[in-house]
């Protein structure tokens, strides 16, 4: 498997770039658009990417009721998190430089869920995961 096709590159490095750069429009629009409208227009952007993915990936439209409900819940959770970030930026005059490291401690929640609920600890070197989690906590503590 080549470096470019590894899951950590496709599912880690590339999304990190997109998530990092998305701080630019959220910061630049804060205070210039209402929170609700920001979320609606953001949703239109997500719909656009979804439609492009359906066309470009040429995947059959396979889904179940369970996957549909879980996808909707994912959207609710992501939208709710974005709502709070945008509100903190636009109404509370928060700094993206301090908020981003804090809200990205969501990694710790995802790690715990992966290790405990999905039992991924059986396939990973757990001490490395724990060390990485400790570094995340230390980094977040430094900016508070």
**pLDDT (tens digit, 9 = 90+) per residue, 5-28?**
688 899 989 999 999 999 999 999
Mean pLDDT over each residue of the chain, to the nearest integer: 91
The single-letter DSSP state of residue 30 is: B
Query: CB within 8 A of 80, min separation 6: which ones?
Result: none
- In this structure, the chain runs to a length of 144
């Amino acid at each position: 498997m080549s470096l470019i096709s590894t899951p950590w590159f496709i599912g880690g490095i590339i999304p990190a770039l997109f998530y990092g750069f998305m701080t630019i429009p959220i910061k630049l629009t804060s205070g210039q658009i209402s929170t609700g409208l920001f979320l609606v227009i953001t949703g239109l952007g997500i719909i656009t990417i979804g439609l492009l993915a359906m066309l470009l990936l040429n995947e059959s439209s396979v889904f179940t009721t369970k996957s549909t409900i879980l996808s909707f819940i994912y959207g609710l959770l992501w939208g709710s998190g974005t709502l709070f970030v945008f509100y903190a930026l636009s109404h509370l005059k928060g700094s993206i430089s301090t908020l981003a490291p804090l809200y990205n401690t969501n990694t710790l929640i995802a790690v715990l869920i992966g290790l405990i609920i999905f039992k991924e600890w059986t396939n990973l070197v757990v001490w490395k995961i724990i060390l990485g989690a400790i570094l995340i906590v230390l980094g977040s503590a430094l900016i508070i």
